[in-house]
Homo-oligomer: A and B are copies of this chain.
Amino acid sequence: MAQRTEAPQILARCRELVRPALGRAVGQLHPWHAEITAFSLGWDGAGRDLPGAQGKGVRQALAVLGAEAVGAKAESAVLGAVAVELIHTFSLLHDDIMDGDETRRQRATAWRAYGTGPAVLAGDALFALAVQTLAGAPGGACAPAVRLLAGALNDLVHGQADDLLFESRPWTGPDAVQPHEYRRMAEQKTGALLGCATGLGAVLGGAGRSETDALTSAGRHLGVAFQAVDDVLGIWGDPEVTGKPVHSDLRRRKKTYPVLTALTAGGPAALRLAALLRTGEELDDHAARRAAGMVEEAGGRAAALAEADRQLERARACLESVALAPEPLADLLALLPYLSARLR
């Protein structure tokens, strides 16, 4: 039996494969946008990686593995890998503006560093470049690839809108955000682009409809799993690892999956949690720690982790529902649990 490749090696292999094309794509941007993009991607002025400032490159890896899984060469997915990384960067640029986030990966966000207008425009430029990149796909792959990307983009903006609107909804009562609404939002906001990545790999690798659909669905489930784990890390994550203060999502009163499931669980902890959150004040260290305890006591943490497991299981089932090349399939299966815990 062949030795199993570890997830970090898989990610590194895909990153190395895609990196030159990503650099060339960014080089086509207006110099101003190339600079803002390099800053966002954690590159220095010469386009070299700054140590520790990059994302994991998950989306590009999913595109590459998607192509390999349908029996195509990794190279066939590079256009798609570049497109999804550009879209991911676009969405970080714009989301940080909408959410008012001032830091990302221990550095200033682009709108803080360059101004809101330039960050909006640089995001638009990345969006346009992603479409242009896929528009350059050879022959018959262009139309289905663009359709896949357009559907994901549509989901992405729907999910972001719902996430923003959740903020102004009450914690309890008939208008409270339900866990199933949160799952749909997470599937659109996070799952759509991951599903687009694996799906684009398949399409560019020349796959038929059933393989493409299976790989797309697997990526979407992975996205929801990731979001559930990310929500757990946003409350109980180690500040050294997450780069955010402890209980950060509770301090900011974010409506995340553990909190929403805790509130709907009923029981004394849920009631105390609802009373605390309804006060409307900023939660200090003490209150945030108490709230975290209540979420855990009401079963919110366990529910989020169970949801992540359930979604990973579904992703696995999608991958096993069609005939895929064994080695790339093994790589995808190795990535699933790793990514759902480490994606950001």
Contact = CB atoms under 8 A, between A and B. Distances in A.
A154 B129 contact: yes
Contacts of A164: 117-118, 121
A94 to B, nearest CB: 6
B116 A97 contact: yes
Contact of A131 (B98, B136, B142, B153): B153
A333 to B, nearest CB: 31
Nearest to A159: B30
Interface residues of A, number: 41
Interface stretch (A143-151, A216-224, A317-325, A335-343): A143-151
Nearest to A148: B135
Given A132-B154, A136-B147, A142-B142, 4 more contacts: A97-B120, A98-B117, A128-B153, A132-B153
9 contacts: A30-B162, A32-B165, A117-B164, A118-B164, A120-B120, A124-B127, A124-B157, A131-B149, A142-B142
Interface of A: 30, 32-33, 94, 97-100, 116-118, 120-121, 123-125, 127-129, 131-132, 134-136, 142-143, 146-147, 149-151, 153-154, 156-158, 160-162, 164-165
